[in-house]
Amino acid sequence: SMVKVYIKFYGCQANLDDGSIIKGILAKNNYEFTNNVKEADIAIIGTCVVKPTTANKIINQLKTVYSLNKKLIIAGCMPESETKLCKKLFPKASLINTYNITNILDSINKSVNYLGKRKELKLGLPKSIEKDAVTIQIGSGCNSNCSFCETKLAKGNIQSYPEELIIKEIKYYLDKGIKNFNISSTNNADYGKDINTNLVSLFKKIISMDYDFKVRIGMMNPSGIVIYIEKLIEIYKDKKIMKFLHIPVQSGSNKVLKEMNRNYKVEDFIKIVNKFRKNIKNITISTDVIVGYPTETEKDFNETVKLIKKIRPEVLNISKFGARPGTLAAKLKPLKSEIVKERSVKLTKVYKNI
């Protein structure tokens, strides 16, 4: 009988797309799939390291699957940023990081670990398409070094994919009748920095394609957008671009932003939001905030509250700070958990009342 595989990926759009590519490669090689891990021969879990709550949930699932004595493959960000932990808890599992997903067949057949950064193009690969939207990864990694971020440890600096190959990939799916695309990477604002181009140049090429389609641009850090505001607004005016701007501010306090090593000021963020709102009528502003960063005082928190009341984002993702292994912020003395919780509740109320 055929080998059955259980695949479950957590986290960001890029990670989910890695899962779709792995599934595509396995489907092409005649593997069967099941949603019931108990009846699978092989389990592939795509891990996420952004938040302690999610990471702990995933580790618990890994423990459950591991106890079933299946062949377990741990993918996603954890194998690279927490190799020791993975090897300690799951000595018989195979580890495959986000730069080695095209080695999935060898990972299954040879039980080798695929770790370390390398160049791997996530274009032109088989992909399992389950929705009417396709994610196009334009690169991996990020040039920021935010103090709280474990993803950086897993993915390293930006590795941009060539523009012409991205265009070719979109064209391939357009010709298959796909009309919706998510443009994704660790931080879209850093696209092109390593290959002598930039996100504006890429988006211009995308919108000039003579097809009828819609593009949703994924997360961009404010630090990378500031210099491109005017040009990005021109891109966003195009009917192919969905009027959705995901731009995480993380804090309303310049002191905290500096301590987080975010490389922009609150004023930069406000400027971006105001200019977009002025020029793109029906823009949806989505932002993220971390409450309870170890150095966040009551005054700092109140500045965040003030900022959210001022810019009134359509979407606000609030995260309670949780230290991640290996990050600079993990070395800091955390705030009392009741303070963090209280701030989260307070900011949530502010957002609900906008």
Query: What's the Rg (C-alpha) of the chain?
Result: 21
Instruction: Tell me which CATH code domain 133-352 carries.
Output: 3.80.30.20
Tens of pLDDT, residue by residue over 120-148, are 999 999 999 988 899 999 999 999 999 99
pLDDT of residue 131: 82
Residue holding tokens 């987080």? 260
CA dist 118 and 184 (Å) reads 19
H helix intervals, the chain: 13-28, 52-67, 78-81, 83-89, 104-110, 151-155, 163-175, 199-207, 222-225, 229-236, 254-259, 266-279, 298-311, 337-352
- Sequence spans of domains, the chain: 4-110, 133-352
**Contact call for residues 284 and 269 (beta carbons, < 8 A):** no
Burial class (CB in 10 A: 0-12, 13-18, 19+), 208: exposed
Q: How confident is the model at residue 62 (pLDDT cuts 50, 70, 90)?
A: very high
Pick the CATH number of 4-110 from 1.10.3720.10, 3.40.50.12160, 3.20.20.140, 3.40.47.10: 3.40.50.12160
Residue 87 in this model has a pLDDT that exceeds 90 = yes
26-to-6, 95, 126, 128 alpha-carbon distances in Å: 11, 17, 9, 10
Mean pLDDT of 63-91: 97
CA dist 115 and 225 (Å) reads 32
What are residue 291's DSSP bridge partners? 320
CA dist 329 and 51 (Å) reads 13
pLDDT of residue 46: 99
CA dist 171 and 167 (Å) reads 6
CA dist 185 and 14 (Å) reads 6
Residue holding tokens 């989910």? 16
Tens of pLDDT, residue by residue over 227-281, are 999 999 999 999 999 999 999 999 999 999 999 999 999 999 999 999 999 999 9
pLDDT of residue 353: 96
pLDDT of residue 132: 85
CA dist 137 and 184 (Å) reads 5
- Of the candidates 172, 183, 161, 312, the one whose C-alpha atom is nearest the C-alpha of residue 241 is 183
